[in-house]
Amino acid sequence: MSTPRLQGKTVLIVDDDEDILSSIDLVMRAEGALTATVTDGNAALAAFDEADPDAVVLDMMLPRRSGFLVLEQLKKLPNPPVIVMITANMGKRHMEYAEDLGVDAYLVKPVPLQRLVETVVRLLSGNGRGDNGTPHEHENAS
């Protein structure tokens, strides 16, 4: 049996859809990750301080504070986590804005769970960015 790919890593999952949240939580834990889950942007920042995650899976459209505002806050930190933004919004303008804020990957829902895990694993291993620092992930994930 192989070692879970996220063993020893902590992942904060932020989504206001309980079904999506629990599905992502389940698959990340199956890969060995410790997880924390929250359903709004303000709770995401509070949970970040408590969980000190290696990676954040972040929905764009959140109550109380948007995913963009959470992304902006987290990327200002001295040692920011890997951030994978997931969204149902296919607009190029939103993707470009997220990239300008420093998102590590931008995936359009519905995101296959294995693809999401592979993206997080790759980014945490340091193999997710191109030479120019831009994310490799930003196409429709279907």
Whether 2 is in a domain gets the answer no
Whether 4 is in a domain gets the answer no
Strand positions, DSSP E, 55-126: 55-59, 82-87, 105-108
Whether 141 is in a domain gets the answer no
Whether 66 is in a domain gets the answer yes
Closest CA to 104 of 123, 118, 77, 131: 123
CA distances from 55 to 33, 40, 83 (A): 10, 17, 6
Residue bearing tokens 């829902």: 109
Whether 67 is in a domain gets the answer yes
Compute the distance between CA of residue 141 and CA of residue 138 in angstroms, rounded to an integer.
8
Domain range for 103: 10-124
User: Tell me: the pLDDT tens digits for 116-137?
Assistant: 999 999 999 986 543 333 344 4
Whether 1 is in a domain gets the answer no
User: Tell me: the pLDDT tens digits for 92-125?
Assistant: 899 999 999 999 999 999 999 999 999 999 999 9
What total number of domains does the chain contain?
1
pTM for this entry? 0.88
Residue 87, C-beta contacts closer than 8 angstroms, at least 6 positions apart: 59, 60, 61, 67, 94, 106, 107, 108, 109
Whether 137 is in a domain gets the answer no
Average pLDDT over the chain reads 89
User: Tell me: the pLDDT tens digits for 17-59?
Assistant: 999 999 999 999 999 999 999 999 999 999 999 999 999 999 9
Whether 23 is in a domain gets the answer yes
> 43: domain CATH number?
3.40.50.2300
